[in-house]
Structure formats: C-alpha cells, structure tokens
Chain A
Amino acid sequence: MTLTHHLLLGAALFLIGVFGALTRRNIIGILMSIELMFNAANINLAAFNHFLHPEGVLGMTTALFIITVAAAEVVVGLALVLAIYRNCESVYAEDFNLLKG
C-alpha cells in the first residue's frame, strides 16, 4: 500500500463523484455525488499527511474541518432542495432552467 494506491483511490472516487454530479437527474443524487468529491479530497489529504509528513497533523485536521463544513453544507443544500421542491413540485435538475439567458 503506497501513496500511489491512495491517490488512485482518491482520483477514482472524485471521478465517480463528477460523473454522478453530471449525470444524475435527481438533485438529491447530485448532492450525494458532491459529498463523494469532498471525501476523495479528504482521502488525498489524509494520504499526503501519512506518507509525506507522518510527524504532522495538518492534513488530518484539514480533513476534519472539511467533514464539518461538508455537514453544514449538506444541511444548507437539503434546505435549498426542499425550498425548490415546494416551489416547483419537482426534484429533477432539468426542470430548473431559471438561469436561461
């Protein structure tokens, strides 16, 4: 188990997240994919901390911060989803095209 394996895991996870965010119709799913991308970043942070600076904890603490912020972000995101749902009676992303120019 080397750093490379960890980074490959992180990259795979991030790409899964990106794929999910781009392809899911349900915005709950998009929200979950975004969580996946957060966690891919967290794996990278933990791996770099462990293999490059084992005596330090900066990577670990940053990962912890990100988990906290992500939790808060999910709260805000779900609240938005609820608000949208109440307005539009829909949870599918293609129905929300208010930004159309």
Chain B
Amino acid sequence: MTMLEHAYLIALIPLAASFLILFGGKEDPHSPLPFVGIAAIGWCLVESLGILYAAISGAALPYAQDWSWFSFGMTAANRPFVYDMPIGVLIDGPAVFMLVVVTLVSFLVQIYSLSYMHGDARFKRYYAYLSFFTASMLGLVVSSNLLVTFCCWELVGFSSYILIGFWFERSEPAYAAKKAFLTTKLGDLGLYLALLFIFVLVGSFQIPQIAQFVSRGYMSTAAATLIALGILCGAAGKSAQAPLFIWLPDAMEGPTPVSALIHAATMVAAGVYLVARCYFIFTAAPIAMETVAWLGALTAFLAATMAIVCTDIKRVLAFSTVSQLGFMMCALGAWGLTAGLFHLTTHAAFKALLFLCAGSVIHAVHTNDMRQMGGLSKKMPLTFLTTFIGTCAISGIPLLSGWYSKDMILERVYEHDPRLFIILAITATLTAFYMFRLLFLTFLGTERDKDKHAHAHESPWPMTVPLVVLALLSIFAGALLDHHHLFESLVTGPVSPEIPHPAPPWLGWSVTAAVAASIVAAAKLYGGPHFETAQRLKAAWAPLFHLLDRRYYLDDIFLGLVDLGDRAARLAFWIDSEVIDAIFVDGWGAVARLAAKLSHLFDDLCIDRTVDGTGGLSVTVGGALRSLVARGLAQEYLMYAAVGMSVLAALTWFR
C-alpha cells in the first residue's frame, strides 16, 4: 500500500530531475548530470514495479487519492457557493501497466542514449527534455483530474516538439517538429471541446465522478457520443490515426531513441490510453464505439500498405506503429478494452526494441536508407538477433508476445464484426511482409554499399543491454501477462462488460498461416542478392506504388488545405487593405484632409489677412505720420509747443 500512496511522486520526481538537469551545471558533452535523470527514472521504475506487485498480490484497485488544488466562488441556481477543484491520482488496472511500460521504456531509452547521444553538443539538455517528456506522460497516466490530464497531454505534445526538433539546426527536424505539434493540436481542439462539455454537464473533471454520472444514466447518448467523438479527435491526433497520422513519419527526424520513446511509451500511447481511461463514456455511445473501431481498422490497413514501399528503415517502423495503433483502437472500438491495452503493453516492448535496433544500425552505418544496407548480420550479430526477435514478435509468430495480444484482438474483433476482422487479418499479413522485408533488406542478402558495410560495427554495451532486455520482454511478456489471465483480471475491473465468446479455433491458426505465407513471400522477393521479382512487380503496379509512396497524397491534401487557408487569408487581407481600408479609412482620411485644407485656406485668406491687414494699416499710417511730423528739427517741436500753448491759452480765454 505504501507504494500506491506515493504514486504521485512518480510524476514529480522526473519533473524535478528534468529541472535539475536543465538548470544545474554547464552544457558539456561529458556532463555527469544525465545520471540524475537515469536515477530518477530508475526509482520510478522500481516504484511502478512495486505498484504492479501490489496490484497482483491483491491491493484494492482502483486506488484514488485527492488533494485540494484551488477553489473559486461561483453561483448556481442563484445560490453562491465555493467550488473546490481537486487534484489527485487514480491508479486503476490500465494505469498500473502504463506506469510500468512508460518507466521501463524511458529507463532503457535513457541508458541507450548515453551511448547514442554521447558527444552531442546539447547532451545535458537532451536528458532534461527526456525526463520532462517522461514526467509529462507519467502525470497523464496517474492523474484523476481530466484537466490535469489535459495539461500533461499538452506538455507531452510540447516535449515531443522540442525532442523531434532537437537537431533544429537542420531544416527537416524543425519542419517535422512544427508539423507534429500543429497536427496534434488540430486533434486537441476536439479533446478540449469534449472536456468543456464534460465540465458543463457533470460539473467535475474527476474521472470517478464522471464515471458515476454516466453509470447512473444521467448522460444522454447524444451527449456521450459528442464527448466521445471529441476525445477520439484528440486521441487520433496523438495516436496518429487516419487522417492525422501525417506527422508521425516526419517525426523520424528526431534522434532515434526519442522515436523509440514516442512510439513505444510516451506520445502515441497517450491517445489509446486516454480512450481506455474514458472508456465508460465510449461504452455509453455505440456510434462513437463503431467510429473508433472503423477508424482503427482503416488506419491499420492504410499504414501497413504505406510501409510496404518505404525504404527508410525508421519510416517503415513509424508506419508499423501507426498500423499497430490502429489495431489497438479497433480493439477498443470492438469492446475489447483488455485486448487493446494488452497489445499496447506488448507493442511497447517490441516497438521500443525495433526502434532501438534501428538506432543501433543507423549508429553503425550512418544512413536511414535500407537500399544502402544489407548483409549486416555478420557485422552486428546481437543487433540482428534482437531485431529478428522484435520482427517475429510484431509479425505474430506463435508464443512470442505479439502473438498473444494480436490473437486476442483478432478474436475480439471477429466476435464484434467479421468485416473488421478481415481488414485486420489482411493488415496482420502485410505487417509480417513489410517487417521481414525490413529484416532481409537490412541484415541479409549482399552488402550493397561496401564502404558503409566495411565501417559497420556492433554497438557498445549501453546500447546492446537495453536491446537484450527488450528482446527478452518481447519473447516472454505476452506469455507472462496472459498466464492465468493475469492482465485481463487486473484491467477488467469495474469497467469492461466483455462477455467471453469462444472464438472458432481455426481463426488464430488461419491468420498464423497467412503470416507464414507472407514471410515466405518476403523471403522470395527480398532474400536473394537481386530483387528482379520485386522490381518487376513494382514496374507492373507503378501507379499503385506511386500512390503508396506519396502516402495516399494525404500530405499533399493537408498542405493543399493549409495553402487554401493561406490563399483565403491573403484574399481577406487584400480585401481588408485594398477595399475596406481604401474606402472607410483612407477614403474618410482623404475627405477629412480636404475639409481641413479648405478650412485652412479660409483661415489663411480671410481671418489671418484681416488681422494682419489691421496691424499693417496702423504701421503704415503711423510710419507716414511720423515721417511727416517728427523730422528731428528742434524749432518744429518748439513751434508745436507754442501752437499748443496758444490754443490752450485761447481756450482758457474764450471759455
């Protein structure tokens, strides 16, 4: 229980660590501060495992703990009262697994980065960002207040922005960071509206209270549908669902460990997790559930097809992430909360593994292009082995972790809607094909770039140890978590209304057979030293290849929309400046200027001339008089005096 009581520290300690790293010490490629971040996340991992152990050994879930955050006065129904906003943690089944996933992947990524990012000019800052990213995600996981969840949600978006654009000196990462940020913000708009709607309706952001509100039937189906679609909108942005997945392939410009973190644990998992967290709203809205399921299936299929033609090793993995997220969403929409979250957990292990393997390869050959690789298995045996395990896991080879979760999803979806099952089964087959294509192109066959091949070498231990740990998890996690339905019993607490229908036994085996066939096809096409068959296929289906290579023109459509908005803004600006301003501002100004000129002219010609004229007249008359009278002759002055005196005398005399 003590572990649960300190659950809030899981989010706060990496936050403190990130600030300590950011503001402590000087920027130095050999700074010791990253170990602070590793220690912090290590502690969180221990704490999370403790919580998992407590949950397995029977601690009461969900565990909730609230503190008062802030309060404000307000009026409702003409009565003033003080509203108290709580802040708190809510640890339920999904949260327990999310905590372990996030802390474990973050921990391994941070160790891996020690070697991968070693010598980078902003080594210390990189670790500060990683810790901040992890802290945001952990806050999102534990928070019981949807407002706090939303804040953390935005912080996750911000962290991904600074990490994708970590090498911002080059223009591509800067562009990719902007694109990721803006695309996810588009989805966040819906989430924000949904949250406002929830607060107006329920009067609280607390998840347990909202759940109670819904379970008592106070929320109408229409309202639940609107809210659920809003949340789905946010989740589609974060978890890269169609059509908002356009940011994810570009996000590959960030450092590879960051890609692993984004794809396995912190960023894209957030959307799926949020849907799971608000699952009670979705279950109250059948239309929203169907939307989730079909959106997920569509995304899974589209992303898988795009991955087939991609030649960038990281982008293949990015598309596979989008595809797998589609699987999870589809499972959630098909009432399979357990299946979706189970896949989220196992996917985190093998996707982190695959990304870190890709990082290891890129570290060795300094290129992302699979066409320049090939034959690396002899040079990097450990990386090859771990990549092979990850590829098998994601392809659904029996008894590896991916097989358990994917089987669970397929069974669940088959019961819900066979059409969805067919889409997902095809996608699963494609997944095996493109993943083995990646494996063959990178590690097997002949070395196509002799120079790069000659310089390739196995990575140092901080990179290989996380690979081995994740590879072991990729093999055993599924079996461990499925043992005695451990995962299901923890997740399916009060939330999920799943009714077990035994799926037909041929279902799992038929998909496995299709997967095996597609692996054989991949081996045929890409296993040999030359790819004549692949080239012929490409030539025969050139328009389709082009469509997939251009990612269904979705980027162009979005850019076109942005461009359209740009043009509309320019037009509006032109109207504003050339029409509105010309008439109402400049026009009025001209009229006023004209009036002022007339007034000035009148003032000048009439008023001022009169004033000046009067003065001038006095001056002229005075001057004339003076020159007439005062000639400076003393005798004249004397005569004036005499005349004056005479006049005075005469006046006196004749009075």
User: How big is chain B's contact interface, by range?
Assistant: 10 to 19
Contact B632 A101 (CB under 8 A): yes
Residue of B nearest to A94 (CB): B633
Q: Of A21, A94, A101, which one neighbours B626 at CB under 8 angstroms? A: A101
Asked, given contacts A18-B642, A22-B642, whether A99 binds B635 with beta carbons under 8 Å apart, the answer is: no
Q: In whole angstroms, what is the CA distance A93 to B642 when docked?
A: 17
Q: In whole angstroms, what is the CA distance A74 to B221 when docked?
A: 133
Within 8 A of A (CB), among B587-646: 626, 630-635, 638-639, 642
Interface size of A by CB at 8 A reads 12
A47 located at the interface, meaning its Cβ lies under 8 Å from any Cβ of chain B in the complex: no
Asked, given contacts A18-B642, A22-B639, A22-B642, whether A100 binds B634 with beta carbons under 8 Å apart, the answer is: no
Within 8 A of B (CB), among A61-101: 93-94, 96-101
What is the minimal beta-carbon distance from B614 to any residue of chain A, in angstroms? 23
Q: In whole angstroms, what is the CA distance A93 to B639 when docked?
A: 13
Contact A98 B632 (CB under 8 A): yes
Q: In whole angstroms, what is the CA distance A85 to B248 when docked?
A: 116
Chain B residues positioned under 8 Å from A94 (CB to CB):
633, 635
Chain A residues positioned under 8 Å from B635 (CB to CB):
21-22, 30, 93-94
Contact A99 B638 (CB under 8 A): no
Residue of B nearest to A97 (CB): B632
Chain A residues positioned under 8 Å from B639 (CB to CB):
22
Contact A97 B626 (CB under 8 A): no
Within 8 A of A (CB), among B186-238: none
Chain B residues positioned under 8 Å from A99 (CB to CB):
630, 632, 634
Q: In whole angstroms, what is the CA distance A94 to B631 when docked?
A: 10
Residue of A nearest to B642 (CB): A18
Q: Of A21, A96, A98, A101, which one neighbours B638 at CB under 8 angstroms? A: A21
Contact B638 A22 (CB under 8 A): yes
What is the minimal beta-carbon distance from B41 to any residue of chain A, in angstroms? 104
Chain A residues positioned under 8 Å from B626 (CB to CB):
101
Contact A100 B631 (CB under 8 A): yes
What is the minimal beta-carbon distance from A97 to any residue of chain B, in angstroms? 3
Chain A residues positioned under 8 Å from B633 (CB to CB):
93-94, 96-97
Q: In whole angstroms, what is the CA distance A77 to B205 when docked?
A: 117
Contact A100 B638 (CB under 8 A): no
Residue of A nearest to B623 (CB): A101
Q: In whole angstroms, what is the CA distance A21 to B645 when docked?
A: 15
Q: In whole angstroms, what is the CA distance A23 to B626 when docked?
A: 22
Chain A residues positioned under 8 Å from B634 (CB to CB):
93, 96, 99
Q: In whole angstroms, what is the CA distance A14 to B633 when docked?
A: 22
Q: In whole angstroms, what is the CA distance A21 to B637 when docked?
A: 11
Chain B residues positioned under 8 Å from A22 (CB to CB):
635, 638-639, 642
Q: In whole angstroms, what is the CA distance A97 to B632 when docked?
A: 4
Within 8 A of B (CB), among A20-41: 21-22, 30
Within 8 A of A (CB), among B553-597: none
Q: In whole angstroms, what is the CA distance A96 to B631 when docked?
A: 10
What is the minimal beta-carbon distance from A47 to any residue of chain B, in angstroms? 20
Q: In whole angstroms, what is the CA distance A101 to B637 when docked?
A: 13
Q: In whole angstroms, what is the CA distance A21 to B630 when docked?
A: 18
Residue of B nearest to A24 (CB): B635
Q: In whole angstroms, what is the CA distance A27 to B406 when docked?
A: 141
Chain B residues positioned under 8 Å from A100 (CB to CB):
630-632
Given contacts A18-B642, A93-B634, 9 further A-B contacts (CB under 8 A): A93-B633, A96-B632, A97-B631, A97-B632, A97-B633, A99-B630, A99-B632, A100-B632, A101-B626
Contacts from A to B (Cβ < 8 Å): 18, 21-22, 30, 93-94, 96-101
A selection of 18 A-B contacts at a CB cut-off of 8 Å is A21-B635, A21-B638, A22-B635, A22-B638, A22-B642, A30-B635, A93-B634, A93-B635, A94-B633, A96-B632, A96-B633, A97-B633, A99-B632, A99-B634, A100-B630, A100-B631, A101-B626, A101-B630
Contacts from B to A (Cβ < 8 Å): 626, 630-635, 638-639, 642
